Amino acid sequence: MQQRAIHFPETLVLVFWRNLILASPNLYKGDLPIVNTTLADRTVKRAFNFNAGPAALPLPVLERIREELLDFAGTGMSVMELSHRSPEFEAVNNKAEEALRRELAIPEDYSVLFLQGGGSMQFAMVPLNLFVAGKPVDMIHTGAWTAKAIEELKKLAEMRMAASTEADKFTRVPRPDEIKLSPDASYVHMCTNNTIEGTQFTEMPQTGAVPLVADMSSDILSRPLDVKRFGLIFAGAQKNLGPSGVTVVIARKDLIERGSDKIAKILQYRTHAKEKSLYNTPPTFAIYVLGLVAEWVAQQGGVTGIEKINSVKAKLLYDAIDSTGYYKCPVEKESRSKMNVVFRVASGDEAIEKKFAKEGEAAGLIGIKGHRSVGGMRASIYNAVPLAAVESLVSFMREFERKNG
């Protein structure tokens, strides 16, 4: 595993000793010990994290969190202890929204909401708020996550299958000419990146006046985005935006007024828009981290800069898969994801694949076992996964092939 130096703040060490002495006064008598506040000789093992989610966070963000963990902005409290009604947290909330608006160029006629329940909650909230009776929802079915959306949608609304690649085992996304949309649909639902199947849309469907709803949980903030093409975007944070616990919804303001007043108040988008995501206690820590991640993206050159880095990482890994014949990627090249790279050994030997994952983990390459529903291997190379991690994985792949090929 990587060896990274970590400094332990003096306050953490002193608090430990203070609490130990208060708990056991006879255990230690005398002055507090003199401590080395840098402890540069101590290291922390940082694995290369290829997990699909919760996923890697940028190291500078983690370091910033560590620095502010005990005393946020001079409050004497952790950000996790702040009242969500306090001016300090309102500033955190506003800063996160502003950073996200800036990086994604979100227009003013769109609300940005910080909700809970993950993308799975949105499978229910979207139809509750946007479905219009007599106007079926057009579904573009591309894998496990749209399957879950379909399951909820059928309970709440009428649905029409506009396109599906299930017959191809979801090894690609539909081509534009395969997507048959209705001009009077309530909305069109799609998932822009499929984490399990390793597919991603590079071109969004043209939906005209019909709102396009996109589940972007696994590729938001990874590339430039024309928000105006969408009626509503939702994304669980735990891939590219931050830790688990917060879900971002970006919705056209006129569209979120569509929902009936008979919907439970907490499930109405307008409730959260009116209260700036503070209707009830929000996931405060996750929102704080999301703001830091958005700032970090800005430092990488924004989404344009991030996209270039992601393209380099993806090309390096796909080239390694395609180059020898020992590995294979089941996804059509035009549909390959830059976020979740799925591959197998060409022989299909599951024992060899299990060995690959086990030895990879021992080498500090964590999370490269494929999803249980499809098997094989998967490397999730989200924004915060550094190029060095992909280079290390490619080196491991070559050595593994040399030993086992």
Catalytic residues: 145, 215, 239
Q: What is the DSSP letter of 132?
A: B
Residue 155 CA to residue 87 CA, distance in Å, equals 41
Distance separating alpha carbons of residues 301 and 305, to the nearest angstrom: 4
Query: CA-to-CA distance for 316 and 387, rounded, in angstroms?
Result: 9
Closest CA to 368 of 380, 384, 385, 350: 380
Query: In angstroms, rounded to a whole number, what is the distance separating the alpha carbons of residues 402 and 160?
Result: 49
CB atoms within 10 A of CB 105: 13
Nearest by Cα to 360 from 311, 315, 404: 404
Q: What does the DSSP 8-state code read for residue 34?
A: P
Report the alpha-carbon distance of residue 204 to residue 163 in Å, rounded: 13
DSSP assignments along 300-341, one per residue: TTHHHHHHHHHHHHHHHHHHHHHTTSSEE--S-GGGB-SSEE
Nearest by Cα to 218 from 315, 130, 143: 143
Structure tokens at 82: 């702040």
Three-state secondary-structure class, residue 401: helix
CB 50 within 8 A of CB 393: yes
